[in-house]
């Protein structure tokens, strides 16, 4: 059972930055594996949205709404996944979740492709 623990959320003003972290109990961040990891978010009253995904060898994909502002990365030595967020907008307000799995196609922003999920970290952006 892989355990994922997110941190780094908080309340910031529009235009600010945050770095979210997700520590994995397994080596899903290992560059040489077939692992796939991603960040999702869900705002109140809205469906869950995949925002960024990264494959074991570093290939990434992003939702159109976050391209140029969000950067997903990994620290293999620390088994940690990151999401660097710049130019935050009020629409970015949501609970952010880390996910991991071994889907056939990666990177992927489909929630159905991930088996393991963290508990989430809240990001609130004020205007």
Write out pLDDT tens, residues 25-64.
876 555 446 678 999 999 999 999 999 999 876 799 999 9
When the pLDDT of each residue in the chain is averaged and rounded to a whole number, the result is 91
Structure confidence at residue 57 (pLDDT): 67
Residue 103, pLDDT score: 85
Q: Which residues pair with 7 in a beta bridge?
A: 21
Check residue 27 and give its pLDDT: 64
Average the pLDDT over 113-120 and give the result.
Answer: 94
Listed in order, strand segments (DSSP E) in the chain are 4-7, 10-13, 18-24, 36-42, 49-55, 60-62, 70-75, 80-85, 94-101, 116-117, 121-126
Write down the pLDDT at residue 75.
Answer: 84
Query: What is the structure's pLDDT at 1?
Result: 77
Q: Which residue has the tokens 């999702």?
A: 40
């Amino acid at each position: 059972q892989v355990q994922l623990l997110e941190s780094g959320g908080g309340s910031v003003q529009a235009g600010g930055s945050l770095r979210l972290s997700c520590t994995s109990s397994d080596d899903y961040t290992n560059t040489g594996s077939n692992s796939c990891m991603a960040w999702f978010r869900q705002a109140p009253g809205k469906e869950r949205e995949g925002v960024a995904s990264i494959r074991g060898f570093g290939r990434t994909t992003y939702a159109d709404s976050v391209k140029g502002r969000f950067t997903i990365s990994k620290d293999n030595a620390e088994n940690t996944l990151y999401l660097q967020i710049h130019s935050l907008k009020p629409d970015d307000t949501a609970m952010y979740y880390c996910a991991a799995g071994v889907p056939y196609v990666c990177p992927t922003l489909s929630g159905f492709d991930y088996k393991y999920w963290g508990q989430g970290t809240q990001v609130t952006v004020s205007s």
